[in-house]
Structure 1
Amino acid sequence: MPMSLRFPAEWEPQDAVLIAWPHAGTDWAERLAEVESTYVALGVAITRFQRLVIIVADAALEAHARGLLAAAGADPARLRFVHAAYDDTWLRDSGPITLREGEAFRLLDFRFTGWGGKYGAARDDALISQLVAAGLFTRAKHQRIDFALEGGGIETDGAGTLLTTWQCLHERHPGLTRQEIAWQLENALQQQRVLWLDHGALDGDDTDAHIDTLARFAARDAIVFQDCDDPADSHYAGLKAMAAELAALRTTDNRPYRLYPLPWARPIIDEGRRLAASYANFLIINGAVLMPAYGDRADAAAAVMLGNAFPNHAIVPVPCRPLIWQNGSLHCITMQLPAGLLA
Structure 2
Amino acid sequence: MRVQRALLLACLAGSIGPAIAQEATTQPELSGVIAIHDPSVIEYGGRFASFATGVENAADSGTPRTKTSPDGTAWRETGALPGGLPGWVETELGYTPKNLWAPSISHHGGTHYLYYSASSFGENDSAIGVMTNKQFDITEPAEGWQDQGMVLRSHDGDDFNAIDPFRIDTDGRSYLAYGSYWDGIRMVELDPESGMLKDGAADPIRLASRDDDAIEAPSLLEHDGRYYLFVSFDACCRGAESTYRIMVGRADEISGPYLDADDTPMLEGGGTEVLASTGRYRGPGGQEIFMNDGEPWLTYHYYDAEDAGTPKLQIAPLRWTEDGWPKLDPLPVSNGT
Range class of TM-score, shorter chain: 0.3 to 0.5
Q: Which has the higher strand share?
A: 2
For normalisation by structure 2, the TM-score amounts to 0.39
Which one scores higher on RCO, CA 8 angstroms, separation ≥ 6?
1
